Amino acid sequence: MIISQEKKQSYGGFYISLGNYNSGIISFIQFIQESNSWISEDQGDYTSYFDSNPLVKQAALDTMDQETEDYFWEYINELDETGMITMQKPSDLETPLAPIGMVILSVEEHKRIRAALSAHSIWIDKNNLLPWKLSDYSQIDLSYLFDEQYLFDYSGDDFTIVVDYSPSEVYNLMSNFVSVNQEQTLYSIIDDFRFGPHPFRHGIETRDEIDIPYSLYDALTDYGCPTCDDYLPESRVSRNGCQSMSRILSRVLRNLNIPSYFDKGWYAGGSHASLFIPYLSLVLNHGDDIYDGQLLSTPTDSRFLMPMSYFSNYVEPCGKLTQCADYWTVRYTKNNAIMYPPIGFINECCMYSYDNCFNFLFNNYDYQTYFTEEEINVGVNNIFNECP
């Protein structure tokens, strides 16, 4: 976790070859420097922009102190001149001195990161670099993009595990997944996280630095595990499981001006992390869903993601950390698993009898806790329909 000194007191079909990223970023920088055809004629003049977008000004600039606002304009000028913000890595990120999982941010680092994230978000909007606009959003949506509570972690001062400090790097990498609208872009990113050339996997204590923070860019580009032998050697790692996966996805979306936030206490009635995308009325039920073997055959769309209506009607009334929330969230995941059975379920059931398949789900996957016997029979029939 990072704490400021103040606080001490192939659904969309888009894939990127990370191995070709260096050459791609060089080309992108050259394009920015050599061509201004995509920059508006009133480049550098943001008065008319903010006059047309008063909610953006209220959410971003009006909540900054003078020093943070000065950094904001410094980064706007840099973006207008070069198309990128050059950020220094937080000094303690590489050599953390605090307890495990923590890195100390200076007051200046905290303000600069906030200014950089806000400046980049406004700059890409002003220059029409995405198919959607900040003006599409309500004041609440904009708070998910600009409020310190969401830019950082729960307190608004710290980072936990995933450090989002360099928006140009992340945007230039992930803009390859931008599709026609926010929803298709979301599916494109999740599909890459699940099935791309370097899918994510859960961190393993004996193999990965599960309690060591890393930058968002590093989380997206680092893959390979020297100690993993043949176990998913080309995968990216969500070091702290659902906690880091929810943050990775939320912060990628934020860098593409798609509002979201993560929260914990809903899935399984425990301290697991979930991701909420209110503008799209969708919820990532559990951060670990990205690499959950039960969900390998569930399509990356609104079936994989929980509709907000389901959450509002069944989960939210339960309250956090309750058996009721456990029932409705885990039931949603297990229902997807039998509606879109993974190959493991199909192989296990199709080799044996109907009764064995029923017992396999009943005993091995605890379906009896979340489904009636009649519902389990429906699921078994659905699995048998997939047998070769």
Which DSSP helix (H) or strand (E) runs through 236?
Answer: strand 236-238
The pLDDT value given to residue 39: 43
Its pTM stands at 0.86
Residue 47: is it exposed, middle or buried by C-beta count within 10 angstroms (0-12/13-18/19+)? exposed
The pLDDT value given to residue 357: 86
Can you spell out the DSSP letters for 38-81?
TS-TTTT--HHHHHH-HHHHHHTGGGS-HHHHHHHHHHHHHHHH
Which of 202-206, 310-314, 325-329, 341-345 has the weakest average pLDDT? 202-206
The pLDDT value given to residue 92: 78
Residue 215 pLDDT > 90, yes or no?
yes
The pLDDT value given to residue 226: 58
Which of 36-40, 191-195, 269-273, 366-370 has the weakest average pLDDT? 36-40
The pLDDT value given to residue 3: 41
When pLDDT is cut at 50, 70 and 90, the band that residue 98 belongs to is low
In the chain, what are the domain boundaries? 2-259
The pLDDT value given to residue 121: 98
Can you spell out the DSSP letters for 346-375?
HHHHHTS-HHHHHHIIIIIS-GGGTS-HHH
Residue 97 pLDDT > 70, yes or no?
no
More confident of the two residues 103 and 203: 203
The Cα–Cα gap between 130 and 254 comes to: 13
Average pLDDT on 140-155 reads: 90
Average pLDDT on 329-350 reads: 92
Kindly report, residue by residue over 1-48, the tens digit of the pLDDT: 444 434 333 333 333 334 444 444 444 445 444 444 444 444 448 999
When pLDDT is cut at 50, 70 and 90, the band that residue 73 belongs to is very high
The pLDDT value given to residue 231: 59
Which of 70-74, 250-254, 333-337, 345-349 has the weakest average pLDDT? 345-349
What are the residues facing 104 on neighbouring strands? 3
